[in-house]
Amino acid sequence: MSQSPGPLSPLENQQSDADVLVLGAGIIGVSVALHLQKRGKSVVLIDRRAPGEETSYGNAGLIERASVIPYGFPREIATLLKYATNRSADVRFHWTFLPKVLPWLARFWLESSSRRLRRAAADMLPLIERSVTEHTALMSEAGVPHRARRTGWVEAYRSEKAFAAAKQAARALDAFGIRYDLLGPQELSAREPHLTGHFAGAVHWLDPATVADPGGLVADYAALFTRRGGTIVRGDAAGLEAQAGRWSLLADGRRITAGEAVVALGPWSDTIYKPLGYRIPLAVKRGYHVHIEPAGDAVLNHPVVDVERGYLLAPMTRGIRLTTGIEFAARDDAASPVQVDQTEPHARAIFPLGRRVEQTPWMGARPCLPDMRPIIGPAPRHKGLWFAFGHNHHGLTLGPATGRLLAEMMTGETPFADPAPYAMSRFG
């Protein structure tokens, strides 16, 4: 992040200019690039990998219109004890990492009080409300409206007690106009005939859309960006520099400069903001998935969460995707897919599954902030630098809405939502 880059190498003499550099080609970065492009900006999208190949590849494929209440820190003593002893597939932590993440967890716990959780829900609602409609618009423009399946998803409960609590929680969302069906065992069986587990009931959330190939959807959006004249280059965003009032990066054999830059690097955003002196409590929640072939002619019609066993099964292009809960570990530590091994036997007990499509589970990292809101807006001390990261479990859900909001801010339009709750200044 040097202010005095020194002499240029021969490669750096090959220079090109743009209005905006967008760092990160996941769903957030690609959406930001598209919305800026719509507003007449020349944009270069930069990533070390192809669009959609990092965090955006490995999610559950949910565009989660129903998640109007953020995922808060649990308050139940029994749940906390289960998590504290690493006995749950929902949450697992590395003991050596625990001292490092405890301050973040403490703040997360404070932010999850009922009063603060209600405030977070109100702040996030404008983005959640736009999630499906903004995706629908981009899918139409990209020529892939078939990507969205409007079938919703299902939370299944094994015990009557857990199902009763789920029904109460669902009814608490009636004020938000969220649509859902409460399913008894026979109704659940009618919607998922090949589900073989013994469930007391389920909540079928009807408003969310689902995607059978999240990484492919991001690639489709990136292809739309290039068809409209955008440029995508491979490069390491950590090389971003400030040069004579502009932002500069050596990528793909040339130095690219722009008046503005957007950091949309998800869990790697710290490679930019830390050297610039920003203190942001960004944590990483790792997660895993593996694809498994359905056995025989078995069909899964919706993503299904086995709530009490802590995993999700989603019908994907490559097979049935088994996704795990949260792992607290250093972002770059070696993979430890214990949760996949914990949950796969339970998954096989409720749905006919064959062989694994890939033997090595995929691992990804979710960028999370303790107040359950992303950072969307300007970097306070660096002109022309903008942030768009920290979307917790909802990067895919909120990508296009975030892209629109940030592009409106950057081009002087009236934002469709108040951006104040997402400002970096809340962290000092």
pLDDT tens per residue, range 357-367: 998 999 999 99
pLDDT at 46: 97
pLDDT tens-place string over residues 193-224: 999 988 999 999 999 999 999 999 999 999 99
Task: Look at residue 190 and tell me if it is in a domain.
Answer: no
CA-CA distances (angstroms) from residue 427 to 190, 262, 369? 49, 19, 10
Q: Does residue 390 come out as left (phi exceeding 0), alpha (psi in the -120 to 50 range) or beta?
A: left
Low-confidence ranges of the chain (pLDDT < 50): 1-13
pLDDT on residue 80: 80
CA 230, CA 257: separation in Å to the nearest integer?
15
405 part of a folded domain = yes
Q: Given this model, what pLDDT does residue 1 score?
A: 38
Counting runs of H as helices and runs of E as strands, what totals does the chain give? Answer: 11, 22
User: Would 106 be classed as within a structural domain?
Assistant: no
**Model pLDDT for residues 263-287, shown as the tens digit of each residue:** 999 999 999 999 999 999 999 999 9
pLDDT for the residue numbered 8? 36
Could you tell me which of 388, 392, 369 has the C-alpha nearest to residue 379? 388
Domain that holds residue 18: 1-72+112-147+212-281+371-428
Task: Note whether residue 116 is domain-resident.
Answer: yes
Does some domain include residue 88? no
- Per-residue model confidence (pLDDT) at position 13: 45
Report yes or no on 245 lying in a domain. Answer: yes
Residue 255 lies in a domain: yes
Residue type, 26: G
pLDDT of amino acid 344: 97
DSSP line for 23-88:
E--SHHHHHHHHHHHHTT--EEEEESS-TT-SGGGSS--EE-TT--S--PPP--HHHHHHHHTT--
Alpha-helical regions (H) of 254-302: 270-273
Say what the pLDDT of residue 5 is. Answer: 32
Residue 424 in domain: yes
The predicted pLDDT at position 15 comes to: 60
Residue count (the chain): 428
Question: How many domains are there within the chain?
Answer: 1
Give the dihedral of Cα atoms 141, 146, 152, 155; nearest 10 deg: -110
- Whichever domain contains 251, its CATH number is 3.50.50.60
At residue 258, the pLDDT reads 97
Residue 64 in contact with residue 208, Cβ under 8 Å?
yes
Strand order in the sheet with 209-211: 62-63, 209-211, 148-149
